[in-house]
Structure 1
């Protein structure tokens, strides 16, 4: 069977599981409908179904198992990988958009593209293998011929951009934008990963990529108009977000974050749809920047 046909089968099972628990017979019925629609020859046995479930579990981290008590198949949320759930979104897009010639005029992508993604495969290999890497990194978009040696620890994706997190030559934790990495290669040496470094907790109270160790974690309250608030509920600003109060006009949320430049830029992006309730220091910074924006973009009076 062709690879795209396997992909179609996996997608069908995942979509079925998203609707809730299902019997094997329902999965088989869906497969027969798929085969007829795509003109795929062959049958679909329970053995093939079990094999597909294993591929879904191993590749996409979605654990679909049979409840022996009810004989229903359902997703095991606790055993499903949170990392691979993001990969599932990519899988769904690839599956939906695989016939690009048929998409002209009906699907429109954002023209902003994540640069440097060609490095991802090599970087994942280096991270998993504890291999030191070297590359040229253009700081501030200024080209350099100097190679950097880095002990790669993790990758982080933020708003169309990928970052490598690693230890520099002085064993200091740094991040490097993949879009500014050039001539990436293995240095031919291994390193020992620090046992006391937990990158997940390192970013627990950070918005974006920059974690200034001198900044305290603060309690932040933001009030949104109900229209913007609905978007904030469907796509939270940060995992620490909690809803404090909601009525017909406003949504009040709380965050536990360091107040860095990236967070301030995010708040400013909501314009007059957001009001900073606390801390007072954040409110003053937002007002100061807003006043500077007004001053910079002040219209010259019309000459009569």
Structure 2
């Protein structure tokens, strides 16, 4: 957190004529003493800072250290702002507001009004709003734990419904197939594991720190065993075409006519295809493979049995 604060102070000094220690302390919600220590750290890094006492006193950089308004092109500024907005949406990171303000100050006012109109993020996954809020809170905690290299503790329920208390060294956050996961070294399993955020409960950051273990990236990747797959062909009612565009690429549509839509795609066994098919009810027919038809019928029979009981 100190490093981010130092960078934030430097950005303010690069774009402001002069600021007071009180202003910086209030902005970063720390004491004036902490701000003065931060200023000393910046000076030790070789960045020239001048401090003035008195009523109009304050802290500023020497003139030749100010940011040139042409340091970034307008397209570069737009790219930076879009990236910052994405980070802010995902992690509710207050420091991004500071960076956006700095870009505003080094931009032409008329041009700045036109910046960052191309991307607007409303929702970053396909889950319910309530779950999205919960997931965002977990993302914020995990990002903090990764930055500070602190172990997290939580209850985790796996695919088969087993719940185990875990302590994990978090390493990486990933968005995949509309859901968030994080990779880390699990102390319980003594190995690298991937955890789905929606299956995590009672997440908390501990005081224990760790030195990140560097492992082959193959151990950190998830989500599907790409060799463990089959080719699936499904036929849907023509009325489902709009929905199907949410799930399949143009190349996976092998026939579209006035009555039906047929798709052909690779099915990875890590995904629950039966639930997907059930979601279309009587509007879908399994063409192949044969074992999938049998599996689907078996699931339908279980559902009917529960309804009758």
* Residue 192 of structure 2 is aligned to residue 172 of structure 1: yes
Counterpart in the other structure of 2:81: 59
For residues 235-266 of structure 1, the C-alpha deviation after alignment (integer angstroms, 9 at most, x for no partner) is: 125x6971112211111112212234622211
Counterpart of 2:243?
Answer: 231
**By how many angstroms is 1:293 displaced?**
1.4
Correspondence list, 1:182-197, <5 A: 182-185=203-206, 187-197=208-218
Distance in 2, matches of 1:276 and 1:143, equals: 34
The separation in 2 between residues aligned to 1:190 and 1:269, in whole angstroms, is 45
Provide structure 2 residue ranges, at least 5 long, that are not aligned to the other structure. Answer: 1-68, 85-117
CA deviation string 1:89-144 (max 9, x = no partner): 42x679xxxxxxxxxxxxxx9664322421313423554x5935221224379987
Displacement of 1:218: 0.9
Q: Give, in whole Å, the separation in 1 of the partners of 2:82 and 2:151.
A: 28
Does the residue aligned with 1:297 lie in a helix, a strand or coil? helix
Alignment check: 8 A CA contact 2:149 2:210 kept? yes
Out of 101, 107, 118, the residue aligned to residue 137 of structure 2 is: 118
Q: Which residue number corresponds to residue 271 of structure 1?
A: 281
Cα distance change of structure 1 residues 143 and 266 upon mapping to structure 2, 3 Å threshold: closer
Query: 1:265 & 1:241 partners in 2: Cα distance?
Result: 23
The 1-side partners of 2:272 and 2:281 are apart by 15
Matches of 1:194 and 1:112, distance apart in 2: 35
Measured in 1, the distance between the counterparts of 2:280 and 2:306 equals 19
- Residues 1:163 and 2:181 are matched in the alignment: yes
Q: Aligned runs of 1:88-127 on 2, under 5 Å?
A: 88-90=119-121, 112-114=130-132, 115-127=134-146
Q: Give matches, 1:201-212, under 5 Å.
A: 202-203=222-223, 206=224
* Runs of 5+ consecutive residues of structure 1 not aligned to the other structure: 1-46, 63-86, 95-108, 300-304
User: How many residues are matched?
Assistant: 199
Q: CA deviation at 1:189?
A: 1.6
- The whole-number CA distance in structure 1 between the counterparts of 2:176 and 2:208 is 25
> What residue is the counterpart of 1:254 in the other structure?
264
User: Are residue 285 (structure 1) and residue 305 (structure 2) matched?
Assistant: no
* Structure with greater Cα Rg: 2
Contact 1:224–1:251 (CA<8 Å) still a contact in 2?
yes
One of 149, 167, 170 as aligned partner of 1:131: 149
Q: Secondary structure at the match of 1:248?
A: coil
CA–CA distance in 1 between the matches of 2:219 and 2:252? 24
* Contact 2:166 2:186 survives alignment (8 Å): no
CA deviation after TM superposition for structure 1 residue 284, in Å:
0.9
Whether the aligned pair in 1 keeps the contact of 2:153 and 2:167 (CA below 8 Å) is yes
